[in-house]
Structure 1
């Protein structure tokens, strides 16, 4: 399965309500624990409407995680476009992660959470998660390469792993310590870069 990058077509109001409702419930309570009946009731649609638009819960889950990918990608692309240099862009990306961790209702990384609930690497949800993570690390590597980092791929892997740890630790433990550690790792990685 390939994550579609084209702009989202205008969706039917009921379909949008279902997806918006499911997105909140899946993130807050977990994908597997939220049943179709709960989504139907919370989104004020009929069963027939739900099944007309999604046919099965798995289709809705894939659309949820694909939507999360699009949202993160849009945010990161805006950060990069607004930055005057790769260094500024990377620091702004790290700041956005810290801001996410500090936000009300933060429940960890939606992609790590989804991967934990879908252990089969061949499941469509896991395929979207994998594609998201590959895109994210490639984006970091591109910025580090522009910055002149001697090993941009390895450095991008470090930043992604630090991000994973901060998102998980920021939810399960001390959010201040998690974001401080992320900042220290980012500073070390960026200090290894040299002008191209």
Structure 2
């Protein structure tokens, strides 16, 4: 009896998952415009046909990448809500994580800001994905300030995002220690406004 031919090794993860994971790493570290589809196909070890089966264009992959990053952010905020009891503790937990994030090796800024900077049209699906994320995040932070009794929670949320975005940019441009400290000081000033 003849032996059966060995079955070729199959990748252990689904092709769509590999494409997204590859794109996530490359888009974040190198930028969404600088990484081409052919490179993602090669590094994900899929065919062009497989890529286009799941993503009709590079832009649709960028949107999926941002949606994945949005899901991670929402999961993080939900985890913070479980770990801390009060709105102030939750806000401080979020700020502490951001401050730590800017100090990590491989930090390249905010993936949403980075992607938005490369698409000028506010109606482009990538910009719409960024806007949806920031709308959710802004509402969440405003709710925390409201829960803390801030008299102008919308303004406080705006101040939070200015400090956060500035820390992300400052750390990405080269001084994570200063960005870390400045973020903590800025948020402390906003919290100090609460009667």
TM-score (norm 2): 0.91
Count of aligned positions = 183
RMSD of Structure 2 on Structure 1 (CA)? 1.0
> Match for residue 185 of structure 2?
184
Rounded Cα–Cα distance in structure 1 between residues aligned with 2:188 and 2:50: 50
Moved over 4 A (4+): none
List aligned pairs for 1:56-135, cutoff 5 A: 56-135=57-136
* Structure label with greater radius of gyration: 2
> Match for residue 167 of structure 2?
166
Instruction: Please state how far the C-alpha of 1:81 moved relative to its aligned partner.
Output: 2.3
1:36-70 deviation line (CA, Å, top 9, x unaligned): 11000000011111111112111111100111111
> Match for residue 28 of structure 1?
29
> Match for residue 42 of structure 1?
43
Rounded Cα–Cα distance in structure 1 between residues aligned with 2:164 and 2:41: 34
Structure 1, unmatched stretches of 5+, are 1-11
SS at match of 2:170: helix
TM-score (norm 1): 0.91
Rounded Cα–Cα distance in structure 2 between residues aligned with 1:35 and 1:174: 30
Rounded Cα–Cα distance in structure 1 between residues aligned with 2:129 and 2:52: 22
Structure 2, unmatched stretches of 5+, are 1-12
SS at match of 1:102: coil
Rounded Cα–Cα distance in structure 2 between residues aligned with 1:62 and 1:84: 34
Rounded Cα–Cα distance in structure 2 between residues aligned with 1:62 and 1:77: 22
1:143-195 deviation line (CA, Å, top 9, x unaligned): 1101101101000100011000000101103111111111011111111113x
Instruction: Please state how far the C-alpha of 1:124 moved relative to its aligned partner.
Output: 0.4
> Match for residue 18 of structure 1?
19
